Structure 1
Amino acid sequence: MKTIFRLFAVLLAIGLLAMTMAKPTRVVFFGDSITQAGVKPGGYIDRLKSMLPAGQFDLIGAGIGGNKIYDLYLRMDDDVIAQKPDVVVIWVGVNDVWHKASSGTGTDPDKFIRFYEAVIKKLQAANTRIVLCTPAAIGEKTDMTNQQDGDLNQYSQFIRNLAKEHNLPLVDLRKAFLEYDLKNNPENKDKGILTTDRVHLNDAGNQFVAEQMQKVLTSLK
């Protein structure tokens, strides 16, 4: 009889282990309109679903157009933490810079850093792994003559510093986009290489971003 109970206990343990191993890693992509579009057919999140190992990841988009870092902070409880994610990918910063010129409602550097740090700490308190991303582009000219290259480089460096300070994985899309454009934009166009309008992704941009995300996500599994 004891042998039967032991066998049952072993089989139960194996079953529970298999269930645990089968649980996919839930990833929430937290950002602005680029991420909002990422869940649509052909978007970078949609593409990732077929690029990552089958059944190992559950990908969720939490992007809202026009969002800046403080918008993310204000809605993170309902839109992210409530989803009980294993990993949160934060991709924000373009509007914090872009809206300074377009509508005068950007985010000052000190506020950007403080809100970003607050987002990180709150997610860490929820026992969530975090991946940071630098903002990719506001214009694709390769000679640093896009109007907001200076600010975009500065805010990207803020994010690099936060990733280093908190020992977090980084998808450095700013660096990756610049390197790609240097190789693929010989005519120094301001759009049309990876973006449709200097900011939002075209087909090539969605594929490129998906590839950058894939590298980091597979390393976390």
Structure 2
Amino acid sequence: MQTLLKLLRISFMTLPLLAMQQAKPTRVIFFGDSITQAGVGTKGYISQMKEILQSRGMGDQYELIGAGIGGNKIYDLYLRMEEDVLAKNPDVVFVYVGINDVWHKRTHGTGTDPDKYVKFYEAIIKKLQANNIKVILCTPSVIGEKTDYSNEQDGDLNYYASMIRDLSRKHNLTLVDLRKDFQEHLAANNADNKDRGVLTTDRVHLTEAGNKFLAEKMLDGLLKK
């Protein structure tokens, strides 16, 4: 009888703890540049993801955190990974970087060479995986919205996107192929071949519609089994 009472006491103490553990939301960090920095704004893609999750009755299942800094390239992410990502103990990390690695070659005379891009990117993947974090990779979207392949940096963006696809296959990681998604959407919705104004304000940074489109694609990646 005393043993039974002890067991009952233990169960009454442990059940609330188990309930708390089950209720803990999945912590998701979006690791990137100015697109992600803006993503936490009122109509940013991270904020819109939260709204969509709420509307589906899943709002308490996920904690979404933005970790974007304007102008960041792949090596900037590597250098701030400990403080901005690992210290927050995430369950899932989206790595979304590459626009500045390509764009800044023309605008600032800098950027990131392909070989260095892959090395830093892979170092980030390995560090996150060593901490038992699920990693989701994202290809860079657009620098210009023209659909006739006349955006100045289409070639470089396609190449950098292909490297990320290779890394996703090599490490068996979920891929959100934004390069492909944006190109397909623009092909269907940019009949005037404009260089901006459909999904972006300035060829790179997103309109409200662009943020909504990105939110939907990121959410697909997050919920993918």
Q: TM-score range by the shorter chain?
A: over 0.9
Post-superposition shift, 1:16? 2.6
Q: Where does residue 18 of structure 1 map in the other structure? A: 19
Residues in 2 aligned to 1:113 and 1:6: alpha-carbon distance in whole angstroms: 55
C-alpha displacement of 1:122: 1.0
The CA deviation at 1:67 is 0.4
Is residue 179 of structure 2 the alignment partner of residue 195 of structure 1? no
Select 1:154's aligned residue among 149, 155, 159. 159
Question: For 2:187, what is the secondary structure of its paired residue?
Answer: helix
What is the aligned-residue identity percentage? 61
Q: Deviations over 1:53-92 (max 9, x none)?
A: 1211111111000000001001111111111111111000
Query: For residues 9-45 of structure 1, what are the alpha-carbon distances to aligned partners after superposition, in whole Å with 9 as ceiling and x for unaligned?
Result: 3333432321111001111110000000000110000
Q: What runs of 5+ residues in structure 1 fail to find an aligned partner? A: none
* Distance in 2 separating the partners of 1:42 and 1:175: 23
TM (normalized to structure 2)? 0.95
What one-letter code is carried by the residue in structure 2 that aligns with 1:41?
A: T
Distance, in Å, in 2 between the alignment partners of 1:177 and 1:24 is 30
Alignment of 1:73-88 (within 5 A): 73-88=78-93
- State how many pairs are aligned: 220
RMSD of Structure 2 on Structure 1 (CA): 1.1
Please show how residues 107-186 of structure 1 align to structure 2 within 5 Å: 107-186=112-191
Which residue does the alignment assign to 2:35?
34
* Residue 52 of structure 2: aligned partner: 51
Q: Distance in 1 between matches of 2:63 and 2:51?
A: 11
Kindly indicate whether residue 8 of structure 2 is the aligned counterpart of residue 3 of structure 1.
no
The residue type paired with residue 26 of structure 1 is R
Q: What is the rounded CA distance, in whole Å, between the counterparts of 1:5 and 1:189 in structure 2?
A: 73
- Structure 2 unaligned blocks of 5 or more: none
Q: Does 1:95 align with 2:111?
A: no
The one-letter code matched in structure 1 to 2:193 is N
